[in-house]
Copies of this chain bind each other. A is one copy, B any other.
Amino acid sequence: MSSIWGEKIKISVFGESHGIAVGVVIDGLPPGIEIDTDKISAEMGRRKPGRDRYSTPRNESDDVEIISGIFNGHTTGTPLCGIIKNMDIRSKDYDAMKKFMRPGHADYTGHIRYKGFADYRGGGHFSGRLTAPIVFAGAIAYQYLQKKGITIGTHILKIGSINDEPLNPAKVSKDLLNKFRDMRFPVISTEIEEKIKDEIENARKDLDSAGGILETAAVNVPAGLGSPMFCSVESRLSGFVFSIPAVKGIEFGSGFKFAEMRGSKANDQFTADGSTVKTVTNHSGGINGGITNGMPVVFRTVIRPTPSIGKPQQALDISKMESTELKIQGRHDPCIAVRAVPVLDAAAALVFMDLLL
């Protein structure tokens, strides 16, 4: 089940970075969801490469051709296939690198896993480019969720040494999440946007790359989604999020801070607000026993620094089984965390849609 995901809806992602196209088939969508293609384009635009010096110079329009599953502006209920052509391919950048196992990359593991037959150009099916069809699928899912009143958004909590203010998990507002979706560098403390840009620009100038942490929240998620044992909301979200290249950790609510907390502090007290049940605090990140409790769902994801850097590094020449200096010539993002923002929104949208159906 390598590139297929889901229970009620299933998405099947295909394509390689330097092949003809990347795309996705979404199976199990309910019929009759009205689809606004402008909103899809806007989502694709948030992830698109080539926008400025903070992202890879690879230039792609990322227009999606919808092959099936939409008729008269609505989902039909039968499989929806969307295809995104690869336009700006420079495979020669990569041809010479076939035998070099770059540090931090999937070159070696892909070589072993696929017995030497993988399309190695630009990372092939491992490439971050494969997040384009995920953003497309997420844009479909999000239009469904929005009609149910659910809002999802992600901000940059940390890049290198620069920290944004964290969300208050008990009081996440829909407006703030919507604001995040409109920002190139979504942050709460707007004065730090420039500091983040500087941090990335410094990494780029040093022919290096930067890592980061993203914080995602979803509000108005109904209570009762998820199931013990293996379909906990945390299992479902983490299972998807770790499919996004470069993700190496995830935590929900107070996350790793729970280690130093006592139960009397960590427990979120339930309270009745008229006929609505709320919690006073939200250390649990909106999830108890793997099931949503109606409070904002909040999680944080760490994105490792882009493995591709301009600095010379030691790579393993697998044909000779010896190390050699390598200078990566391809195009790459100095901080992939920035472009991961809409991918996390998409991941969350797909998981919540799957749980809601």
Query: Once the chains bind, are B249 and A256 in contact (CB under 8 Å)?
Result: yes
| A268 vs B106: C-alpha distance when bound (angstroms) | 11
Interface residues of A in 194-241 (CB under 8 A from B): 203, 206, 208-213, 223-224, 226-232, 234-236, 238-240
Query: Once the chains bind, are B106 and A289 in contact (CB under 8 Å)?
Result: yes
What is the CB-to-nearest-CB distance from A160 to chain B, in angstroms, rounded to a whole number? 6
Q: Is A60's beta carbon under 8 Å from chain B?
A: no
Residues from chain B with a CB closer than 8 A to the CB of A292 are 109
**Scoring A residues 111 to 125 as 1 if CB is less than 8 Å from chain B, else 0, what string do you get?**
011111111000011
Given the known interface contacts A125-B78, A245-B289, A250-B249, the answer about A206 and B262 at a Cβ–Cβ threshold of 8 Å is: yes
Q: Is A105's beta carbon under 8 Å from chain B?
A: yes
Query: Once the chains bind, are B291 and A113 in contact (CB under 8 Å)?
Result: yes
Copies in the complex: 4
Q: Is A304's beta carbon under 8 Å from chain B?
A: yes
| A297 vs B212: C-alpha distance when bound (angstroms) | 22
Q: Which interface residue of A80, A261, A266 has the most chain B CB atoms within 10 A?
A: A266
What is the CB-to-nearest-CB distance from A146 to chain B, in angstroms, rounded to a whole number? 19
| A223 vs B115: C-alpha distance when bound (angstroms) | 12
Query: Once the chains bind, are A242 and B249 in contact (CB under 8 Å)?
Result: no
Given the known interface contacts A14-B69, A67-B15, A268-B104, the answer about A230 and B307 at a Cβ–Cβ threshold of 8 Å is: no
Query: Once the chains bind, are B67 and A269 in contact (CB under 8 Å)?
Result: no
Q: Which interface residue of A5, A238, A316 has the most chain B CB atoms within 10 A?
A: A238
What is the CB-to-nearest-CB distance from A266 to chain B, in angstroms, rounded to a whole number? 5
Q: Is A149's beta carbon under 8 Å from chain B?
A: no
Query: Once the chains bind, are B32 and A117 in contact (CB under 8 Å)?
Result: yes
Given the known interface contacts A4-B230, A76-B119, A109-B293, the answer about A267 and B307 at a Cβ–Cβ threshold of 8 Å is: yes
Count A interface residues, CB 8 Å. Answer: 142
Residues from chain B with a CB closer than 8 A to the CB of A291 are 106, 109-110, 112-113
Residues from chain B with a CB closer than 8 A to the CB of A109 are 223-224, 226, 287-293
What is the CB-to-nearest-CB distance from A334 to chain B, in angstroms, rounded to a whole number? 9
What is the CB-to-nearest-CB distance from A5 to chain B, in angstroms, rounded to a whole number? 4
Q: Is A284's beta carbon under 8 Å from chain B?
A: yes
Q: Which interface residue of A14, A118, A240, A269 has the most chain B CB atoms within 10 A?
A: A14
Query: Once the chains bind, are A81 and B23 in contact (CB under 8 Å)?
Result: yes
Residue of B12, B112, B130, B249 near A12 (CB, 8 A) is B12
The 8 A-B residue pairs with the shortest CB-CB distance, nearest first, are: A106-B289, A249-B251, A104-B267, A2-B227, A209-B263, A109-B291, A103-B267, A78-B125
